[in-house]
């Protein structure tokens, strides 16, 4: 008699609201990492805030429940990467996963050369996206063309390299290597930056290592791994969540009394006078966080035009109630969690503070 395995037990989903800072492991796509975390959290709704290549590790903020409404802020945020460029070889994918298509001699990498490259690749840049990317051309992802052996024309994208540091590295996979730390605008492809640096040197290059160490104020040092989540109790997993408002923490905040909070949550603008919304709120303010103060709860975001508070993205009453239920647990966790997990200041780029690969 043939035995058949029993079907996998279906988990009971639940409402989960917050941001999980995941340290994405190498080898998984961003969506695969998201689905694993969503399953572990038993969450009803989840999304990530920007794709990391399977080769890359590091900060991948995952939004659950109400937090998904504010994920666009992270998509628009500046990001910081650490990478190692392997010099002397170009590959089909511009990273170590591709096939080598060209090999060249590598010149001496001097401090003067690194200083020149840093200046050349800092500031506003026009960058052509790589063929192995998810960007669409005529309704088709570029990587689909690339896998079919086709190269199609791509429009340059305007990016900004806010800050970059470069240093000589040692890697047994290449005759020479350069380690970089880059703080850049959204839409920057570090694989392409690595290739362009290799061309500027004259020897070609591809990425041998890539790690996102910061995005929009969220730091890699505050992330949790999938393996760690797997060993935790559900309560400990919930304690890893940051509140949805951490996604918009750079914006000033407004507190409303119970009557105004209820009307605001219904989508009604609230009229005010100069200074009514607080000393940090200008007469015309593009983004504010809005809280109710009785009980204290995050309600959503708004903008101020001529002193009128106009709702933008709002939590539903059910989401507010869900978050109030867990407020006591969250307060207890925050009291013992140590330093804040989010910073509005860009990280200091210091090559010496990171281990050499």
Task: Locate 92 and state its tokens.
Answer: 């089909």
Find the catalytic residue in 53, 95, 171, 196. Answer: 53
Sign of the C-alpha dihedral computed for residues 226, 164, 75 and 347 taken in this order: positive
Per the annotation, the verdict on 53 as an active-site residue is yes
Cα–Cα distance measured from residue 158 to residue 185, given in angstroms and rounded to the nearest whole number: 9
Facing residues of 218 across strands? 215, 342
Cα 236 to chain center, whole Å?
23
| Gyration radius of the chain's alpha carbons | 23
- The length of the chain is 357
> Of the candidates 33, 36, 32, 28, which has an alpha carbon nearest to the alpha carbon of residue 11?
36
DSSP annotation of 43: B
Task: Locate 158 and state its tokens.
Answer: 């305007």
SS3 content of the chain, % helix, strand, coil (to 5): 30, 30, 40
Catalytic residue numbers read: 53
């Amino acid at each position: 008699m043939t035995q058949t395995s029993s079907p996998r037990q279906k988990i009971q989903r639940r409402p989960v609201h917050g941001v999980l800072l995941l340290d994405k492991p190498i080898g998984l796509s961003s969506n695969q990492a998201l689905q694993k975390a969503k399953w572990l959290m038993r969450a009803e709704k989840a999304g990530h805030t920007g794709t990391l290549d399977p080769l890359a590790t590091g900060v991948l903020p995952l939004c659950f429940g109400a937090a998904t409404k504010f994920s666009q802020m992270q998509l628009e945020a500046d990001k910081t990467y650490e990478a190692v460029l392997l010099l002397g070889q170009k590959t089909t994918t511009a990273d170590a996963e591709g096939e080598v298509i060209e090999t060249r001699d590598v010149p001496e990498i001097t401090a003067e050369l690194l200083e020149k490259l840093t200046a050349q690749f800092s500031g506003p840049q026009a960058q052509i996206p790589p063929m192995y990317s998810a960007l669409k051309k005529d309704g088709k992802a570029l990587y689909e063309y690339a896998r079919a052996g086709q190269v199609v024309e791509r429009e340059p994208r305007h990016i900004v390299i806010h800050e970059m540091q470069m240093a000589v590295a040692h890697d047994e996979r290449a005759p020479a290597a350069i380690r970089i730390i880059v703080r850049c605008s959204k839409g920057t492809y570090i694989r392409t930056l690595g290739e362009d640096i290799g061309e500027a040197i004259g020897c070609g290059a591809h990425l041998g290592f890539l790690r996102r160490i910061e995005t929009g104020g969220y730091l890699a040092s505050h992330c949790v791994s999938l393996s760690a989540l797997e060993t935790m109790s559900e309560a400990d997993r919930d304690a890893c969540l940051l509140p949805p408002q951490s996604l918009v923490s750079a914006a000033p905040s407004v507190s409303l009394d119970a009557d105004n909070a209820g009307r605001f949550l219904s989508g009604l603008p609230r009229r005010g006078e100069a200074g009514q919304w607080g000393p940090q709120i200008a007469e015309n303010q593009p983004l504010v966080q809005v809280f109710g103060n009785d009980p204290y709860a995050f309600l959503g975001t708004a903008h101020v035009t001529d002193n009128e508070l106009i709702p933008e993205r709002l939590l539903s009453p059910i989401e507010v109630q869900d978050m109030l239920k867990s407020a006591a647990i969250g307060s207890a966790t925050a009291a013992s969690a140590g330093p804040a997990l989010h910073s509005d200041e860009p990280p200091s780029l210091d090559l010496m503070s990171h281990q050499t690969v």
